[in-house]
Amino acid sequence: MTNKHNHPSHDNWEAVIGLEIHVELNTKSKLFSSAPNHFGDEPNRNITEVCTGQPGALPVLNKEAVRKAVQFGCAIQAEIAKFSKFDRKSYFYPDSPRNFQITQYDYPIVKGGTVIAEVDGVEMSFAVNRAHLEDDAGMLKHFSTFAGVDYNRAGCPLIEIVSEPCIHTAREAVAYATAVKAILQYIDVSDCNMEEGSLRVDTNISVRPKGEKGLRNKIEIKNMNSFSYMEMAIKAEIFRQIEAYEKHPHLPHETVIHHSTYRWDPEKKETVLMRRKESADDYRYFPEPDLVPIVLTDAYIDEIKQGLPELPLERERRYVRDFGLSPHQAFALTSEKRLADYFEIALKGCSNARSLSNWILVEFPGRLKDKGQDVISIGIKPEHLTSLINFIEKGKITGKIAKSVVDDMVANPGKDPSEIISANSDYQPLDDQAEIERMVDSVLASQTQSIVDFKAGRDKAFAFLVGQVMKMCKGKASPQIVNDLLKQKIEKM
């Protein structure tokens, strides 16, 4: 699959990608009604006459949602519109109780903005076109003989974050989306749970030969409920479009790829056509007469700016600067706020930030990823990680033993590593100098050829000798001590 997407002739093409990210805000009530904004309840519990579009019901704007939208705008250094308004967007669908959505058409609340994300170790800057407030639709539920509508989600507040078409690869798209998600979590405006649909990404993709100026017809991909699916979908779609153009080099390009909507099929691992857009949809936007415009003051915007917490980018840079992490490590840690928070708690009373970061980002995920878990979700306390690192740092356990200790920590989350180590004699560090010496002597006595080789300048022979001693002590002796002893003894020989 991956190889297929790296066809050499495809290097002459470039993809142009724009993302529309729909984010459900975590307000207490819905955008225009007092009904609870809550996921996962019995169908049609969280509704009022406004959510179901009862005749005569009128929308009243939720100020908390406005605040959260402005927080996001401030976090991406966007212009906050002092005047914005709502519009009706008309389309017929059974999950839309009024058959129009209330959204912001020509005067969005957030204009412009920049999101900085790390792509393959390099910081890249992505331009945001706008972010606007709108209400969500209900959900259709299909049963064997009929379909029903659950209006619990109808009227939940969304911000739609529209990027400029400034993204060119699947990895960039994922990095941008990851950074947006991180910002939203840091400022606590959304749960960003892709599986529950509180963060949904629509991707617009077109390709063109490198150097071509205009944009070709674009494809919209919907329903990608994870970033890894998104990455696969974008790669597959770019490949499909390039193949199509290369197969028909003489056809006018607008007849090769048509404006259409696709969805990602994770089973087939390909994009599947949903519908072709024959003509541009006519949503008949016009100003929502039931709502007054949103008018914001400088004081209000400044107060929100001042109140912003540390944002992921600042945190990432601080990790590189203060803890000496690599930009990649820092981005990976800070992209998940809870992971970064966990890291900082564990870092208290622990001297090696890079080692700590490595255990969090590499060792634990390696053991847990397949189970869909991580170090936090299985309940390993950050203090236990601190203590593990300190055992290693102080040379009380070797790296090899540490890995076994971590195996045990994963098997028994909540158990203190010091308990695990003291309860297992195999994990006890071997600090009896005489015992180690005996082992070194025994190895030297049986491996005379290696001594000769080492003296002849072959370093590998020495490493072999160290390995033999470590094997004999079951990895419990400090490799440093073994090293020193071996050198001393060989020199004397």
Q: What are phi and psi of 26, to 5 degrees?
A: -95, 55
The residues in 208-267 that bind other proteins, with binding defined as CB under 8 A, are none
Site string for other proteins, 422-451 (x = CB under 8 A): ------------------------------
Report if residue 275 touches other proteins, rule: CB under 8 A.
no
**Residues 184/23, Cβ–Cβ less than 8 Å:** yes
The residues in 290-309 that bind other proteins, with binding defined as CB under 8 A, are 290-292
Q: What are phi and psi of 264, to 5 degrees?
A: -90, 130
Where would I find the H helices in 412-447?
Answer: 417-423, 433-446
Measured CA to CA, the distance from residue 483 to residue 453 in angstroms comes to: 17
Q: Which of 7, 41, 60, 395 binds other proteins (CB under 8 A)?
A: 60
Closer residue to other proteins (CB): 138 or 475 = 138
Tell how far CA 182 is from the center of its chain.
7
Report if residue 18 touches other proteins, rule: CB under 8 A.
no
> What would the DSSP string read from start to end of 345-356?
HHHTT-S-HHHH
The residues in 75-104 that bind other proteins, with binding defined as CB under 8 A, are 88, 90, 92, 94, 97-100
Please give the structure tokens belonging to residue 221. 């991909």
Please give the structure tokens belonging to residue 304. 């929100």
Closer residue to other proteins (CB): 267 or 282 = 282
**One-letter amino acid of 310:** E
Q: Which of 23, 24, 59, 475 binds other proteins (CB under 8 A)?
A: 59
Q: Which of 1, 58, 411, 423 binds other proteins (CB under 8 A)?
A: 58
Closer residue to other proteins (CB): 87 or 172 = 87
- Binding region for other proteins (CB under 8 A) out of 57-65, 75-83, 258-266, 313-321: 57-65
**Residues 78/301, Cβ–Cβ less than 8 Å:** no
Report if residue 145 touches other proteins, rule: CB under 8 A.
no
Nearest Cα to Cα of residue 224 among 242, 244, 204, 207: 204
Closer residue to other proteins (CB): 273 or 292 = 292
> What would the DSSP string read from start to end of 288-300?
-TTSPPEE--HHH
Report if residue 286 touches other proteins, rule: CB under 8 A.
yes
**Residues 482/490, Cβ–Cβ less than 8 Å:** no
Least gap, CB of 290 to other proteins (angstroms)? 5
How many residues lie near other proteins (CB under 8 A)? 29
Q: Which of 4, 28, 41, 49 binds other proteins (CB under 8 A)?
A: 49
Tell the residue number behind the tokens 């070797």, with chain if given. 398
Please give the structure tokens belonging to residue 127. 């331009």
Q: Which of 11, 40, 42, 56 binds other proteins (CB under 8 A)?
A: 56
Least gap, CB of 26 to other proteins (angstroms)? 23
Least gap, CB of 90 to other proteins (angstroms)? 6
As a dihedral over the C-alpha atoms of residue 159, residue 165, residue 169, residue 175, rounded to 10 degrees, the angle is: -30
Q: Which of 149, 402, 421, 465 binds other proteins (CB under 8 A)?
A: 149
Distances in Å between the alpha carbon of 262 and those of 163, 167, 194? 19, 19, 19
Least gap, CB of 139 to other proteins (angstroms)? 14
Closer residue to other proteins (CB): 3 or 145 = 145
β partners of residue 205? 17, 219
Residue 366: CB atoms within 10 Å: 11
Number of H helices, E strands in the chain: 16, 17
Closer residue to other proteins (CB): 255 or 279 = 279
Q: Which of 45, 248, 258, 284 binds other proteins (CB under 8 A)?
A: 284
Least gap, CB of 56 to other proteins (angstroms)? 4
What DSSP character marks residue 253?
A: G
β partners of residue 449? none
- Give the binding site for other proteins (CB under 8 A): 49, 52-61, 88, 90, 92, 94, 97-100, 149, 280, 282, 284-286, 289-292
